[in-house]
Chain A
Amino acid sequence: MSQVPPGPWAASAARTDDGSADDGIRRFAAIWSRVIDPYTATSMTRAELEEHLLPLTRRLAAILESVPFDVRPAKDIGRAMVQAHCTDPQVLSQSLTVIDAYLLLYRPPAESLPPEAARGHLARLQHAFAAGFAEALRDRTLAEQEAIAHASLAAQARAERALHASEARFRALFEGAAIGIGISDLEGNILDVNETLARMFGGRVEEFRTRNVNEFMHPDDAPHVWKQYRELIRGERDHYRFEKPYFTHNGSAVWTNLTVSLIRDQNGTPQYQVAMMEDITERKLLTDRLRYQATHDPLTGLGNRALFFERLAEAFDSGDESTRLGLCYLDLDGFKAVNDSLGHEAGDRLLVAVAERFTGCLTGRNQLVARMGGDEFVALVVDPDCPEEVAGLARRFLAALDAPVRIDGRELSVTVSIGLLECTAASMKAAQMVQAADITLYRAKAQGGNRLAVFDAEANAREITRYGLTTRLPAALEEGEFFLEYQPLVALGDGRVMGAEALVRWRHPQQGVLGPDRFVALAEQTGLIVPLGYWVLEQACRQARAWQLELEQGAPRINVNLSVRQARNPGLVNDVARILKETELDASSLHLEITESALIGAEDQALDALRELTDMGIGLALDDFGTGYSNLSYLRRIPVHTLKIDRSFISGLQHPDAPGNPRDEKIVAGLVSLAHTLDLAVTVEGVETELQAERMRALQCETAQGWYFARPGPPDRITALCAAGADRWTGGACA
């Protein structure tokens, strides 16, 4: 697309030589535009360029015809080329070539001019054309150079003004800012600081200009401040932000919210660092105080529960699963008694004194003692130095209370029970760990207090099961997992089945059938015993009524246990009456069994309720008699009909050949005669052998209950026993 060989063009042009004069001009312009087009930077199309060259061609031709010959206009034509943005030197040389080869061809000069003269004119025309082009190009180049120089000067001046304005703005910002600003080089040499910063430190601006950033370390610096500082000056980070304390000129601390930014030049090379700091001393003191309040027990000044759990969580979150942790759960023995007898104030003072002694037992920064609430404390040891450290600490706690505490001139002896647990962070979760230590503590309590119990995985598992049962109880009642079994009460005189005791069972989905010993105490603790008790009562009454309908005269009465809570429940009388009514059972067919503990400390109201029940015709039996206080005064105050003598007295009589325990037998004899004196019937529990049955019969106990007669079973067993009639167990009928 570059050099166009003139050959073919010459040939085609020659063929049309006889055309009109203007036709020659057109042809010339066409060739010309074709040849220079590749070198023009103009955005004209080739057709437009050709159009543009047409008048120029005409003028070129006119020059050749001029008389007298005047070559000067050729200069203007050369200029016109440059004005048309055909500035490439190639345009000149190509144009000269085209003029040389075709101008005379397409516009033959006048006949009068000899060919040599015509050639001479053509040469002069070319010279002038070239000179015009060169002049115009030089003018244009100079003009453009001047224009661009102007432009760059203008731009530079503008940039400087902008820089100046921005510097002035920056200066104003720097000087007037409410935050402290400091600038230093990458070696840490401080170049400038503003007034605010100087004032924050209690110094003067000039004093800072001789100092280095490295001099501003503080013992309370966050661990990574200086690491990030070094990363910044190496250009590895662009800023960092910390709460950082500084020493002021008078040695006190000013806390700042510090942001340091790296300033780079246009190529990204680090140049300066700018530190901006806000004085947060006041805020910091306030938040510190609030935090202290939130994490400390106001009475003893020890850390509180929140602090303890925070530290524990930190230890667990440290990421190191092999971190060892020791935990002592402490509970003062008999503290309630002090509180009750001497008042809360004395109790509080005792706690303060104890807290002080406990604190004195700590030996390392890895140890913490916190008050969990009431008289409960906890000690945490993170990463104990030796296996003995935690136990040693626990023993020091015990020993710390050896000496009595003086409160108000009184010597108070307190002791503490401790549950101790050591584990690795990997082996337990934080909450599990605390629960385990708590459970261990209760072992120490159960063993009498003032001692240390060490975590025992098995005991812990047992307790956790217990805990599991407790939480499942409500659902169990709803899902109908409880059912009743019945154990007959047999008349020792004639072997008749007089009654049946209803016994509750739990068909636990995982653990199988559980006896009341496994869950009644738990239900009692949680209060679920009340709804459970009514459920039992209703079931039992319904069953008793069913027996009556089936067996008529021979139907047994029903004995149902009443828990302590139930006995004290204000709705008791109404609920029992309602159940009797609903199940259509007459009151005399129901015997309620209560324990002595239901009576101890019972309000009069509760006793009244029991009296109301007996007034309705319900029988009342005192269960487990002889195991508690056996305070006979109750027997005067409530209308009990029957005493049930506890199985423990009977078991002493179990060896048929042995003389038995004469003491037990005497006690039972005493109890029986006492009961009879008071007009009470006697039922013995736990009769397992014929011999035992014999003895009890001999002592004239009215009724008995136990494996010798029958184990607890489904209701139809009772039906069967009743139907079978009397004399089954008398005179060895059953042997």
Chain B
Amino acid sequence: MERPVWAPHGIDLTRPSVARMYDYYLGGSHNFEVDRAAARTALEVWPDLPMIMRANRAFMRRAVRFAVDSGIKQFLDIGSGIPTFGNVHEVARAAAPDARVVYVDHDPVAIAHSEAIVADDDQTSVLQADLLKPDDIIGSEAVQRLIDGGEPVALMLVALLHFVGDQDSPRDIVARLRDALPPGSCLILTHATNEGYADPADEERDVYKRMGSPLIMRTRQEVLSFFDGFEVVDPGVVFYSQWRPDAADEEDPARYSGYAGFGLKR
């Protein structure tokens, strides 16, 4: 679909938004009836979704802490969604009070909300941009201002890349971002998969497809390929709950239907 470059993205509140649906799964009320209706449809065929999202969030928290423990205090969180609680800046700040975060999302409502949340916070900024145009992100005022190019950065692509089809060359995009990172930086990434578990996702994917954000399941091998140029730390690319868990979890890890990984750029 071609649109003139100068035309801004309009806001259509009659369509569900990925960010607000996600908030609903997490028990938030930052959503409208269209979002809830869409989310309920998805939940009918895939009731595990809230549990999966929580596991995803829990991984994110562990990974942010791990990054801080590795000496990384700058975070570029792309596809950050609607900040509810346990956000990157809260988690990071709890471990390192001087941590800085740039939140990036292309959803204008999510962005407006994030701005309201971090309005008085000069260690956090918010940027409306599209992952598909990585140079817009790298060159943005927000990134230039908050991120010190000489210090390592945690690039976070959490529950994001499964919305990017191969036709948009996600690997090239990740590589472009990686090349902009100084050595010692890391990539924190999660991605939906249907490996190892009966696929209940077809219809759920349909929900997203109708919204114009089709959900793309990828294999472990494919997810691993996003870590090109990164050294994946132990235990590698694994199901959410298997990544450096805090406590034992009896659940079948494949049920979380998502891979997580943490890579270091040398």
Contact = CB atoms under 8 A, between A and B. Distances in A.
A89 to B, nearest CB: 10
Contact of A148 (B4, B9, B31): B31
Contact of B8 (A40, A42, A45, A162): A162
Interface in A260-308: 262-264, 266-268
Contacts, number: 109
Contacts of A87: 27-28
Interface string A148-185: 10111011101100110010011000000000000000
Given A87-B27, A144-B30, A159-B9, A45 B246 contact: yes
B209 interface: no
B54 A41 contact: yes
A158 B112 contact: yes
Contact of B29 (A148, A155, A162): A148
A397 to B, nearest CB: 58
Contact of A155 (B11, B60, B84, B247): B11
Between A46, A85, A151, the greatest number of chain B beta carbons within 10 A of the residue's beta carbon is seen for: A151
A88 interface: yes
A1 interface: yes
A147 B30 contact: yes
Given A42-B86, A141-B29, A264-B3, A151 B112 contact: yes
A1 B47 CA distance: 14
B10 A266 contact: yes
Q: What interface size band does chain B fall in?
A: 35 or more
Given A41-B54, A238-B2, A264-B3, A144 B28 contact: yes
A159 to B, nearest CB: 5
Nearest to A150: B116
Contacts of B84: 41, 85
B47 to A, nearest CB: 11
Interface SS, B side: loop
B45 interface: no
Given A155-B111, A166-B6, A266-B10, A47 B247 contact: yes
A38 interface: yes
B46 to A, nearest CB: 17
B142 interface: no
A250 interface: no
Contacts of B86: 42-44, 85
Contact of B54 (A43, A148, A155, A268): A43
Interface string B45-71: 000001100100110110000000000
B247 A140 contact: no
A574 interface: no
B201 interface: no
Contacts of A144: 28-30
Contacts of B8: 159, 162-163, 166
B13 A145 contact: no
Between A46, A152, A169, the greatest number of chain B beta carbons within 10 A of the residue's beta carbon is seen for: A152
Contacts of A170: 6
Nearest to A144: B29
Contacts of B32: 148, 152
A264 B116 contact: no
Interface in A35-78: 38, 40-47
Interface string B103-121: 0000011111101100000
Between B3, B4, B27, B31, the greatest number of chain A beta carbons within 10 A of the residue's beta carbon is seen for: B27
Nearest to A88: B27
Nearest to B29: A144
Contacts of B250: 1
A263 B110 CA distance: 28
A140 B26 CA distance: 14
Interface in A3-40: 38, 40
B60 A43 contact: yes
A156 to B, nearest CB: 5
B251 interface: yes
Interface string A228-256: 00000000001000000000000000000
A88 B53 CA distance: 14
Contacts of B73: none
B10 A151 contact: no
Contact of B30 (A1, A46, A148, A263): A148
A473 to B, nearest CB: 62
A488 to B, nearest CB: 89
Interface in A451-471: none
B116 A147 contact: yes
Nearest to A264: B1
B197 interface: no
Contacts of A263: 3-4
Which 6 pairs between the two chains have the least Cβ-Cβ distance? Answer: A151-B113, A43-B86, A162-B8, A144-B29, A155-B108, A151-B112
Given A41-B85, A151-B112, A163-B10, 16 more contacts: A1-B251, A40-B54, A45-B246, A46-B246, A88-B27, A145-B29, A148-B109, A152-B13, A152-B112, A154-B116, A159-B8, A159-B11, A163-B7, A166-B8, A263-B3, A266-B10
23 contacts: A1-B251, A41-B84, A43-B58, A43-B85, A45-B246, A46-B247, A85-B86, A144-B28, A147-B113, A148-B30, A148-B32, A148-B82, A150-B116, A151-B110, A152-B109, A154-B115, A155-B108, A163-B8, A166-B7, A170-B6, A262-B2, A264-B2, A266-B10
